[in-house]
Amino acid sequence: MMRVYNTLTKTKEEFKPVQSGKVGIYLCGPTVYKPSHIGHMVGPVIFDTIKRYLTYSGYVVKLIINITDVDDKLITEANTRGIPMAAVADEMTADYWRNLEAMGVKESVDAFPKATEHIGNIINFTQKLIDKGFAYESDGDVYYDVGKFSEYGKLSHRTLESMLGEGGGTAERKHSPFDFALWKSAKPNEPSWDSQWGKGRPGWHIECSVMSCELLGETFDIHGGGLDLVFPHHENEVAQSEACHGKPMCTYWMHNGLMQASSEVGKVGGRKTHSAEEDNLESQEAGKISKSKGASAFRDMLKQFKPETIRFFLLSSHYRRPIDFSFERIEEVGKGLETFYRFAKRFDKLTGQSFYVLEAAKVRTDGDKVKAQTPLCESVAEYRTKFLDAMDDDFNTGGAIGVLFDLLRTLNKFIDDSKLETTADKKSIAPLIHGATVLRELGLTLGLFREPPQESDNTSSNELVGKLIQLLIEMRTNAKKNKDFATADIIRNKLNEIGVTLEDRPGETMWTIT
């Protein structure tokens, strides 16, 4: 049984889609006024993984990520640069898409609706709220009347009284300080659209209520976003959509933890364990990654790390937990991923076929159909079940990756124990191929092992590096033959220091650059 943690009920609930066999997911996307930083990749990678896993589990999944292309920040940026708002939006949307493409996410997003493409629908939705008595016009603005929606606060678990203490700013045009703008009248030189309330532009919250309904229906399955969006953005979405349609906006509200600069929350590079209290929004907000904390543009990060390494890093912890960000942490996690790459090379060499073309099952079959003919197949089946259990339990990618490491160790040990690399007896190859195929099948549900890791573009210098390392390996082998273990160790350790890992296999030494 698949279970999903729902922010609305604060419990894990059994996953049941609105329409049998189909799942609709809406994820709040970026406001496109600056280039993306790594914080912008967290939600897309997590919800892309959730889509992959649900697809593997037999559902037809639609994933929508919206683009906020009209907003105060965009207008300010456009004025600073002296170019139209739409030019800023186009440039930053292209940057966002290029990054999603590099991360293997763009292809799995079914639509990227933009606010400015839905102005007519936004005006109609707003008018409906006025007609139903949930919104009012005031001097060219339209506000949502929070006092009219009795369930306001149910998602963020707040009451209007408790919010009073938070000192929401009063505005003369509003009935209550908590009322929020659905439509904002145009100030001079601002981009604007005609409406029955005069020239203006939509507020932020209304676009998500409108576009999610347009693309997924009045009630859909999963609404996702960062924990910082629960209030007020998602609370306001609930108020708008449910007042307008008189039915739940979605079944499950899923919120991912925020990315924090590691120095803000603990020692750099250390794996920090969080207590339950530390996972609350206030502490996460304090260390949240944003431009102001010096997060570099994501496109620059891609020059330093393989996209798969970043993906592996983002999925290594549970999605509801905050993610401690530092380059050291990514490097550390990357070393773990390299052990899978080394296995893939070892596998290729042994079997003469590429790990990356193994025909992995694309759809889950419960209760491993493969009769466990050998002890290896038996433990592979056990790891498979453990992996699926972890993912079924609120998409615990961190736990699932832990199982992949266990499976990897088992496969490497099998090769060692059956001396596959030195003996001519190849009858053990079949169970190994089965195990590797399952490893790839499970990895693919997390968006991993889709293709061989990209090498750097600089092929000729790579070749030279390879030859130099091979030379050092030969010198080390000779040193060992002459019982000069001190020299052998120095070569190994010095290579390790500069990021070259050696691994001794029967009859040869393999190397990887981390």
Cα–Cα distance measured from residue 249 to residue 480, given in angstroms and rounded to the nearest whole number: 68
* Amino acid occupying residue 268: V
| 250 vs 438, beta carbon nearer Zn ion | 250
| 28 vs 315, beta carbon nearer Zn ion | 28
Q: What are the beta bridge partners of residue 265?
A: none
Cα–Cα distance measured from residue 98 to residue 92, given in angstroms and rounded to the nearest whole number: 10
Dihedral, CA atoms, 90, 95, 97, 99, nearest 10 degrees? -170
* Maximal C-alpha separation, the chain: 91
Q: Report the SS3 class of residue 186.
A: coil
Radius of gyration of the chain (CA): 27
Q: How far is the CB of 51 from Zn ion (least distance, A)?
A: 18
Do the beta carbons of residue 136 and residue 143 sit within 8 Å?
A: yes
Provide the mask over 295-334, with x wherever binding to Zn ion is found by CB under 5 A and - wherever it is not.
----------------------------------------
Q: How far is the CB of 233 from Zn ion (least distance, A)?
A: 6
| 32 vs 391, beta carbon nearer Zn ion | 32
| 145 vs 207, beta carbon nearer Zn ion | 207
Q: How far is the CB of 28 from Zn ion (least distance, A)?
A: 3
* Subset of 262-281 contacting Zn ion (CB under 5 A): none
Do the beta carbons of residue 394 and residue 3 sit within 8 Å?
A: yes
Do the beta carbons of residue 165 and residue 155 sit within 8 Å?
A: no
Provide the mask over 16-55, with x wherever binding to Zn ion is found by CB under 5 A and - wherever it is not.
------------x---------------------------
* Subset of 53-92 contacting Zn ion (CB under 5 A): none
| 88 vs 208, beta carbon nearer Zn ion | 208
Provide the mask over 199-238, with x wherever binding to Zn ion is found by CB under 5 A and - wherever it is not.
---------x------------------------------
CA angle 334, 337, 342 (to 5 degrees): 125
Q: How far is the CB of 240 from Zn ion (least distance, A)?
A: 11
Do the beta carbons of residue 62 and residue 368 sit within 8 Å?
A: no
| 238 vs 404, beta carbon nearer Zn ion | 238
Q: How far is the CB of 229 from Zn ion (least distance, A)?
A: 7
| 28 vs 432, beta carbon nearer Zn ion | 28
Residue 203: closest CA among 225, 184, 179, 186: 184
The tokens describing 142, both together, are 């339209």
Confirm or reject binding of residue 391 to Zn ion (CB under 5 A).
no
| Binding-site size, Zn ion (CB under 5 A) | 2
Do the beta carbons of residue 234 and residue 252 sit within 8 Å?
A: no
> Where on the chain is the footprint of Zn ion (CB under 5 A)?
28, 208
